[in-house]
Amino acid sequence: MPPTLILVRHAQARHNAESNFEIPDPNLTEEGHKQCADLRQSLVKHPLAQQAELILVSPLRRTIQTALRSVDWLVEKGVGIEADADWQENSPKPCDTGSPIRKLIQEFPMVDFSKVDPVFPDKTSPAASHYHFTKAAILLRAQSALKKLYERPEEVIVVVSHSAFLRLAVSGYWYFNADYRIFDFAPMDEPGDLYRLEQHKSTKETGGGLSRSWIDPIVLGSDLPEEDPDAVRQGDERGY
């Protein structure tokens, strides 16, 4: 049986507070650390979170920091924390582009980076087409991420990721900073069907586990570009 997923958006980071998307791989703000405390308090009381057997994180600083400050009690119980590049944010802007793995290993030795795609943090080269900022690539990446989880043996998995990826590619719901939602996999009617999630009533009707997020769902793939706008702009500048 596929696992139940607790999907978490990271707490406030510098680029959120300053609306500056040129900050490379930003850290959490002081407010973000406070949000993590609220998130931790909610999760530590949640029966499903208590049953979590794996923590997955996007390999960006703000998601790793959020995990280590909100589900540290799971880590202390021996639950592993693994980084997976499939769960990183959509855009190739500096704030959404990760740091070299060698640096992250030094900063966060308790996180397992061994399975991170070697192409990370590249999101723009031909070799990194899986992470390009296009609707097709992002939706395909979400399916890849869900397929890996669908096949995992754990019963409950915590995933700490990003607002746009979770909203536009994975679940179709809003996530404000340090909020979370709980999902089960929808039944697969036919082999080859897309992986879909069905949200638990407890977070669907309240706007997230901390009731911080908008309730209304959105269409997966909406607002995602058919072509990478930066690549198109660069091509125009070069006369392509």
| Neighbouring C-alpha atoms within 13 Å toward the C-beta of 60 | 34
- Catalytic positions are 10, 162
- The enclosing H or E element of 39 equals helix 30-45
- C-alpha span between 211 and 191 (Å, rounded): 36
Task: Name residues whose C-beta falls within 8 Å of residue 119's C-beta, 6 or more positions apart in sequence.
Answer: 85, 125, 127, 128, 130, 131
- C-alpha span between 239 and 87 (Å, rounded): 34
- C-alpha span between 234 and 153 (Å, rounded): 44
Angle between helices 30-45 and 61-70 (to 10 degrees): 50
